[in-house]
Structure 1
Amino acid sequence: MKEILDMLPQHIEHSTIQLNDRLQNLEEIRLRINKPIEYVFHHHSEFLEHLTFSEQDAKEFLGKISQHSVYRMEEELRNGFITIKGGHRIGIAGKVTLSDGQVQAITQISSFNIRVAKEHIGSASKVMNHIYNHKNKQIHNTMIIGAPKSGKTTILRDLVRTISNGVNGFQPRRISLIDERSEIAASYEGIPQHDVGRKTDVMADCPKAEGMMMMIRSMSPEVIVVDEIGDEEDVNSINEAIHAGVQVICSVHGYTLDEVLKRPSLKPLFDGQVFERYIVLNYENSPGVVESVYDENFKLLTKKVRGNRHEMDRGHSDTVHVHVGRTRYR
């Protein structure tokens, strides 16, 4: 949390510190120009009506998170977020500029969303019992299904750490983690800020499909882990990995298995029975709760497997203009 506090304008830092013991439950800090500061907890959010995020605050904050060089953050700004030391991720919103249909920059930045990075060791302990085949000592190819804030990233991160280290009696495996949005390992300057295990190699900020193929060629993984698959390229790369003898663990956005089964882009994976386990997370109560587990034939194996109950790893206004290579304010 110190890394975040150091980036905030002083008066906002002071008010945030006043949360005292509640700081440990803070998930997000939302900063919107000319609007009150918003603190987001898991079940509610609070506005500080007396504290407004000004244009000058935005200028100071952007300067700090980019180390006063927006150009060096070019790629991250294009992706809509910046990762700072400690693995905390800062999302940005505003107006985009396009070139040939591709985002070139985010301009007129008017909102920042600071997501507090947290890791919860042991959150995947219950899940491991369902994805580890005790007979042949192999990891089941597994798809984790969950809605936002259901704990997908937290469980995926702890699975990586557990499988990589071989804790709790499980044999350790070489893992290649494709961390396209730098949410699992939370790499800062290429170095994971979270504990993802001793035998884990991380490819951060790389498109999933390309990253999987790169890691198979270069790192000889036994297991590949990837977050939020969805398009045809992802599906093709997963099939390639499976046929190369690599186990795959991935996550996908969804509320139920039935909902995910209807997605056309994922149909080849289901038709080919690529995955041997489908783990659906509960999205209504506390994150990190497994709602149900299914096998490769979509047969229900168990319901309500409770693991760690914590998540996280998460009108008119004046604007800050940011262009790749230069910054200007209005």
Structure 2
Amino acid sequence: MTQRRITDDLQKLLEVLPPAVAEAVTRANNIDNLIEIILDLGRVPKARFVNGELELSDREISHQDISYVVERIGEFDADNRAGLERTLHRISAFRNRRGHIVGLTCRVGRAVYGTIDIIKDLVESGKSILILGRPGIGKTTMLREAARILAEEKRVIIVDTSNEIGGDGDVPHPAVGKARRMQVPTPSLQHEVMIEAVENHNPEVIVIDEIGRELEAMAARTIAERGVQLIGTAHGRSLENLLLNPTLSDLIGGIESVTLSDEEARRRGTQKTVLERRAPPTFDVLIEMIERDKVAVHPDVSSAVDSLVRGSTPMPEIRSMGEDDQILIEKPAPPPPARQNPNQGFRRGMAEPPTQPGTSMRRGGRYQNVVDSSSFEMGADEPAEVISPYDGKPVRLYPYGVARNRLIQAARRLGVPVLVVKNLEESEALITLRAYYRNRQQTVLDAEERGLPIYVLRANTINQIEQSLADMFNLSMDGPTPNEWQDYSNATRAAIEAVMNGSRFVDLPPASAPIRRLQHEMARQAQLVSHSYGKDPNRYVRIFRE
């Protein structure tokens, strides 16, 4: 177990701040928990700590204060980031429309030795590792420590776009150990430097921070295919979140829509059009940082993605650091065999581990129902019972980019209780088009901020709207609508009366499994015999006397 040690060179950062601000930070007497210092023109300076914010002065920041800092730090790059030489601190700038700096975020950079212990076995396994997590949780710190550990025995090159891993200046910070560092002149050229590192410097390991563009994802795949171990971070908080990002989903294989043959669809018990993983993932292992000392590990990204696209929730391995610096590992229990969901597919959103069978779970804007299929046996014609999260209550739904009249028509056709509202504030859920969702329209962002479920349509059609409403209320689109139930019931009653009046038998029209189940039950109650004949979709029920 490595003894945890922290190096922050904080005095060098305080020296570039206006004296009054630096003194206030020192007086706060909470240096160890300091995250960043905010200097915005015309506002009071603030310090952000792990446990909250603190105003450092009653005096507003002036142009002179901004200039005082800018004159004492390095030059700002194209991404508006600068640093202090031989330190890990980062200063980011706000600019006005004329290009003048009107705000600074002075972020404290710390080299924390020993943070890699919780995943050291994975790092040293030679597998490519992708680290996800919210900003400021410690992804770059873990990346830096991984580079230092691996550089003791391997040729490690760091592609350092914003000098966050190796610090500012030409000489890397001692925290990266023997690893070599390649700086990136312009953030948009990171992918070229990644390829250059492989072609020119013969590395065994490449460390990359903030993979955020499609070209960088493609470059990462090229590097992995050459047999080089990759350790990197990406924008995203979870596996599901990354899979829904069209720019970066290729890092974990991506997804595509596949049309199955009739035979294969029957074998799987799914619809003919399903989602599949498009390619092998670039990274073998994915780590979600939950807290600084707690991570969720997906040791096999391929299996985790395959589980997601088949409608299951992958169960990661949870690792945490105990009070005595012992690593606690919670391995997931093997899942019970489950019946394939006929409406197989991946829901947009972020998953949480299921709590108990038969309960509804919210998935970042979607709902998924967990049904314990091991607790009961189902007949061949018996549908699985599911529970709607809305439980038959009217849902106030706000359509954004979706035709209101079509939404009302679809709701009436399916017989579901929907109230179409005129603004987002009154709604309980948002339904929108994929184009609006991908473009991150303000209404979509507001809905996410409010924690509303979001239902995304591919097209503004009745069929798409019906499928979305069926998803909302957990209706099977293969099953009948309330009006169709009535029609089938009337036809079955007529057949029963005909048999009881002397007909030898009556064949009912082909129907789905739920309808056939109803027809068998009605025949049994009339003390008649019924059998199903044929194969789906032409399977039908015959009613006759014994």
TM superposition score normalised by structure 2: 0.48
Shift of 1:49: 4.3
Structure of greater relative contact order (alpha carbons < 8 Å, 6+ residues apart): 1
User: Residue in 1 aligned with 2:107?
Assistant: 115
Aligned residue pairs: how many?
A: 275
1:1-330 to structure 2, matched below 5 A, reads 1-20=10-29, 22-66=30-74, 73=75, 76-85=76-85, 86-96=87-97, 107-133=99-125, 139-165=126-152, 172-186=153-167, 188-198=168-178, 200-206=179-185, 207-269=189-251, 270=253, 271-282=279-290, 286-296=291-301, 297-298=303-304, 300-306=315-321
Deviation by residue 1:56-89 (Cα, 9 ceiling, x = unmatched) = 22222222225xxxxxx2xx24321111132211
Distance in 2 (CA, whole Å) between partners of 1:111 and 1:301 is 41
Shift of 1:256: 1.4
Is residue 27–residue 41 contact of structure 1 (8 Å, CA) maintained in 2? Answer: yes
**SS at the partner of 1:39?**
strand
**SS at the partner of 1:117?**
coil
Is residue 289–residue 307 contact of structure 1 (8 Å, CA) maintained in 2? Answer: no
Deviates most, 175-184 or 264-273? 264-273
**SS at the partner of 2:60?**
strand
The one-letter amino acid of 1:196's match is V
Whose radius of gyration is greater, 1 or 2?
Answer: 2
Is residue 294–residue 318 contact of structure 2 (8 Å, CA) maintained in 1? Answer: no
**SS at the partner of 1:191?**
coil
Is residue 155–residue 288 contact of structure 1 (8 Å, CA) maintained in 2? Answer: no
Aligned structure 1 segments of 4 or more residues deviating by more than 6 angstroms: none
Which sections of structure 2, spanning at least 5 residues, go unmatched?
A: 1-9, 254-278, 305-313, 326-546
Is residue 130–residue 283 contact of structure 2 (8 Å, CA) maintained in 1? Answer: yes
Deviation by residue 1:294-313 (Cα, 9 ceiling, x = unmatched) = 4132264511333899xxxx
Distance in 1 (CA, whole Å) between partners of 2:207 and 2:78 is 25
Shift of 1:24: 2.2
The one-letter amino acid of 2:149's match is T
User: Residue in 1 aligned with 2:467?
Assistant: none
Shift of 1:266: 2.8
Q: From the superposition, tell whether residues 11 and 230 of structure 1 become closer, same or farther in structure 2 (CA, over 3 Å).
A: closer
Distance in 1 (CA, whole Å) between partners of 2:133 and 2:321 is 15
- Once superposed, what is the RMSD of the aligned Cα atoms? 2.1
Distance in 2 (CA, whole Å) between partners of 1:242 and 1:146 is 22
Q: From the superposition, tell whether residues 261 and 221 of structure 1 become closer, same or farther in structure 2 (CA, over 3 Å).
A: same
Distance in 1 (CA, whole Å) between partners of 2:39 and 2:184 is 25
Distance in 2 (CA, whole Å) between partners of 1:307 and 1:4 is 32
Distance in 2 (CA, whole Å) between partners of 1:267 and 1:77 is 28
Identity over aligned residues, as a percent? 25
Shift of 1:96: 4.5
The one-letter amino acid of 1:238's match is A
Is residue 212–residue 234 contact of structure 2 (8 Å, CA) maintained in 1? Answer: yes
Is residue 145–residue 280 contact of structure 1 (8 Å, CA) maintained in 2? Answer: yes
Distance in 2 (CA, whole Å) between partners of 1:96 and 1:261 is 35
The one-letter amino acid of 2:21's match is I
Distance in 1 (CA, whole Å) between partners of 2:105 and 2:322 is 28
Q: From the superposition, tell whether residues 255 and 267 of structure 1 become closer, same or farther in structure 2 (CA, over 3 Å).
A: closer
Shift of 1:288: 4.2
Q: From the superposition, tell whether residues 6 and 307 of structure 1 become closer, same or farther in structure 2 (CA, over 3 Å).
A: farther
Q: From the superposition, tell whether residues 41 and 261 of structure 1 become closer, same or farther in structure 2 (CA, over 3 Å).
A: same
TM superposition score normalised by structure 1: 0.77
Distance in 2 (CA, whole Å) between partners of 1:129 and 1:301 is 16
**SS at the partner of 1:233?**
helix
Deviates most, 259-268 or 296-305? 296-305
Is residue 293–residue 320 contact of structure 2 (8 Å, CA) maintained in 1? Answer: no
Deviation by residue 1:247-303 (Cα, 9 ceiling, x = unmatched) = 111111212111111122233331223221111111xxx424213334132264511
Distance in 2 (CA, whole Å) between partners of 1:160 and 1:307 is 24
**SS at the partner of 2:68?**
helix
Shift of 1:53: 1.8
Is residue 119–residue 194 contact of structure 1 (8 Å, CA) maintained in 2? Answer: no
More strand by share: 1
The one-letter amino acid of 2:170's match is G
Distance in 2 (CA, whole Å) between partners of 1:193 and 1:54 is 32
Distance in 2 (CA, whole Å) between partners of 1:142 and 1:77 is 28
Q: From the superposition, tell whether residues 78 and 243 of structure 1 become closer, same or farther in structure 2 (CA, over 3 Å).
A: closer
Distance in 2 (CA, whole Å) between partners of 1:152 and 1:288 is 11
